[in-house]
Amino acid sequence: MTIISNEQVGKLFYMAGLEVPVDIKSEQISRALIEIEKKLTTSSCYASKIDPNTALNVLIVDDLEVSIYQLNLLLTQSGYNVYIARSSDEALDQFKKRNFDYVLLDLYIPEPKDGLAILDTFHNSEKTKRNKTKIIVISGTDNQDLIDKCLENGADEFINKTSEWHKNVLQHLKQLEVQHHSRPKLVSNYIDQEKNVVVVSINYSYNSRTSLELEKEFISLINTGYHNIILDMNKFSRIDSKGISMLIFGYTICSEHGGNFKLLNVNDAVEESLAYVHLNTIIRSFKDKKSALQSFA
């Protein structure tokens, strides 16, 4: 039986959004696990259709099963290839075997000195430089000296384990992917954080492969809590059957999460295609961004 430390118990209740009881009993721990399960049930995360052979590789280094479960589910559903290490030895073994785009490293593995040692090894590896691997340290600590030490020793980012930390990780990975491309294919502008409204646009003329990329983007946005999506169709001179399926997919996942999916800058040719399958009566479209945003009142 695995023994959980007091610090790990505290993290568990914090991630569940519950206060840590004075006298912790097994049924209270079970309740915390249930609350975390509710946050990340498969009904709230959509599986990506991205080919695993082209997906980015992520290594999770953590010894807390709840954290592993949260990240593994969310990142796998969002189209990443996920590998797991529960100790320093496993982390080093995984790192030798594979090339990783991202490493998500828990600082307490099980102590800060262990996390810092892994960080130092990975950061100074030629493999990290060659693959341009980004190392993100994750921890519930508020010790600023430790946080500063992580950043000084090569961490590309430090993410605190708040109640929404797993979504913050996914959002940060998305931002890093955009930074890797001088002219990203897709652009998601977070227009209204309070209403969770995002405007998604593309930087090139639409083709059939665009649909898959947009579906992946919709999945990531939904999984990070953004349920109101506006698709700017300025670069769509036409739309094919895959594009129609993509629009239906966007409308469906937004609706199932209590949000809305709307279109912007739809030209006459695309409008005619939407009308042919009666999508124009289901998905609202707008001529300007201001009107589209005001419709989310």
Tokens 């955009």 found at: 178
Query: Of 220, 218, 201, which is closest to residue 260 (Cα–Cα)?
Result: 218
Quick one: 186-294 is in which CATH superfamily? STAS domain (3.30.750.24)
Query: Of 240, 241, 244, 242, which is closest to residue 263 (Cα–Cα)?
Result: 244
Q: Which residues of 60-80 are buried (b: 16+ CB within 10 A; e: fewer)?
A: bbbbbebbbbbbbbbbbbbbb
- Residues with Cβ < 8 Å from 141, sequence gap 6 or more? 107, 108, 112, 147, 160
Tens digit of pLDDT for each residue in 226-258?
Answer: 899 999 999 999 999 999 999 999 999 999 999
The fold for domain 48-179 equals Rossmann fold (3.40.50)
| 54/131: higher pLDDT | 131
| 43/31: higher pLDDT | 31
pLDDT of res. 1: 38
**Total Cβ atoms within 10 A of residue 248:** 15
Provide mean pLDDT across the span 43-65.
71
**Angle, alpha carbons 155-140-220 (nearest 5°):** 70
CA atoms of 169 and 239, how far apart (whole Å): 33
Specify the DSSP class assigned to residue 279: G
H-state helical runs in 104-207: 112-123, 126-131, 144-152, 165-179
CA atoms of 167 and 67, how far apart (whole Å): 12
pLDDT of res. 191: 77
Residue 31 clears pLDDT 80, i.e. is over it: no
Distances (CA, A) of 19 to 23, 28, 31: 12, 11, 12
pLDDT of res. 41: 46
Tens digit of pLDDT for each residue in 94-129?
Answer: 999 999 999 999 999 999 999 999 999 999 999 999
Residue 30 clears pLDDT 60, i.e. is over it: yes
pLDDT of res. 89: 95
Q: Break the chain into its structural domains and give their ranges.
A: 1-39, 48-179, 186-294
Tens digit of pLDDT for each residue in 143-197?
Answer: 999 999 999 999 999 999 887 788 889 888 877 876 664 445 778 887 777 788 9
